[in-house]
A and B are shown apart, each in its own frame.
Chain A
Amino acid sequence: DQQVKQNSPSLSVQEGRISILNCDYTNSMFDYFLWYKKYPAEGPTFLISISSIKDKNEDGRFTVFLNKSAKHLSLHIVPSQPGDSAVYFCAARGQGGSEKLVFGKGTKLTVNP
Chain B
Amino acid sequence: GAGVSQSPSNKVTEKGKDVELRCDPISGHTALYWYRQSLGQGLEFLIYFQGNSAPDKSGLPSDRFSAERTGGSVSTLTIQRTQQEDSAVYLCASFLGRGLAGGRETQYFGPGTRLLVL
Contacts and interface: CB of A to CB of B under 8 A. Distances in A.
Interface of B: 4, 31, 33, 35, 40-45, 48, 50, 56, 59, 91, 93, 98, 104, 106-112
Interface residues of chain A: helix, strand, loop or mixed (majority): strand
A42 B42 CA distance: 15
Contact of B107 (A6, A42, A46, A104): A46
Given A43-B4, A46-B107, A99 B98 contact: yes
Interface of A: 4, 6, 32, 34, 36, 41-46, 49, 51, 89, 91, 93, 97, 99-106
B88 to A, nearest CB: 13
Nearest to A43: B109
Given A89-B43, A101-B35, A103-B43, 5 more contacts: A36-B109, A43-B93, A46-B106, A99-B33, A100-B56
Contacts of A46: 106-108
Contacts of B110: 43
Nearest to B58: A100
A104 B111 contact: no
Contacts of A32: 104
Contacts of A36: 109
B43 A100 contact: no
A101 B43 contact: yes
A102 B46 CA distance: 11
Contacts of A89: 42-43
Contacts of B59: 100
A48 B108 CA distance: 13
Contact of A44 (B31, B43, B45): B43
Given A44-B43, A89-B42, A101 B107 contact: yes
Contacts of B109: 36, 43-45
